[in-house]
């Protein structure tokens, strides 16, 4: 099997996990999930780029914020020792009017996609996202670097739902894989 690199938008994957878990995140090992997804493309997962934002910390963190950060830190430490190797890339979580938004994650993904394509480390990559912001970089690395881009996604095929998927992204990739609950086992 050809080796590949998996690029994971952790926020999106978490959303899928909570959907399959009926509102509660499934318990799973990211390295096993990655192997299952890549194997479905007839690829072997060589390494994983995992994009995440640490929990929000106010200038004077509350006890709950400190607890979330401590749990997050333990989670990240566990990821650093698994195989295949996981590269943890952290954006930040911004709080605006009581709601939270990840910042910087898309830029990190774009940078790593481009670096990987230029280095020609693999012939195919797998990306887990639903974000159409990646269409320009996907088109570029397919056309200019000759790298095949495979998409792992989840959709309920309902327009304007939380899992709707753009035709623009759908058409930009070489192969597609609908994420199933069993991939988390």
Please give the pLDDT value at position 93: 86
The candidate with the shortest Cα–Cα distance to 136, out of 83, 173, 104, is 173
pLDDT digits 0-9 by tens, 20-36: 999 999 999 999 999 99
State how far the alpha carbon of 14 is from the alpha carbons of 77, 82, 117, 123, 139, in Å.
Answer: 18, 19, 26, 27, 26
CATH number of the domain residue 36 falls in: 3.40.50.1010
Phi/psi for 123 (5° steps) reads: -90, -20
Please give the pLDDT value at position 161: 67
Give the domain range for residue 169. 2-184
pTM for this model (two decimals): 0.93
CB within 8 Å of 62: residues ≥ 6 apart = none
**What's the structural domain count of the chain?**
1
**133 close to 156: Cβ distance less than 8 angstroms:** no
pLDDT digits 0-9 by tens, 38-76: 999 999 999 999 999 999 888 999 999 999 999 999 999
């Amino acid at each position: 099997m050809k080796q590949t690199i998996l690029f994971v938008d952790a926020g999106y994957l978490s959303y899928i996990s909570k959907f399959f878990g009926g509102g509660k995140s499934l318990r799973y090992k990211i390295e096993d999930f990655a192997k299952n997804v890549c194997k479905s493309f007839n690829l072997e997962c060589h390494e994983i780029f995992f994009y995440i934002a640490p929990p929000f910390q106010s200038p004077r963190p509350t006890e709950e914020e400190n607890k979330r950060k401590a749990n997050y830190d333990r989670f990240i430490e566990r990821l650093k020792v698994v195989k295949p190797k996981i590269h943890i890339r952290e954006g930040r979580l911004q709080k605006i009017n009581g709601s939270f938004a990840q910042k910087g994650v898309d830029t990190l993904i774009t940078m790593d996609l481009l670096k990987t394509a230029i280095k020609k480390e693999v012939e195919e990559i797998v990306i887990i996202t639903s974000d159409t912001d990646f269409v320009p970089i996907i088109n570029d690395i397919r056309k200019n670097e000759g790298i095949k881009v495979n998409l792992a996604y989840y959709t309920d095929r309902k327009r304007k739902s939380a899992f709707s998927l753009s035709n623009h992204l759908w058409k930009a990739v070489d192969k597609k894989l609908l994420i199933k609950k069993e991939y988390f086992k």
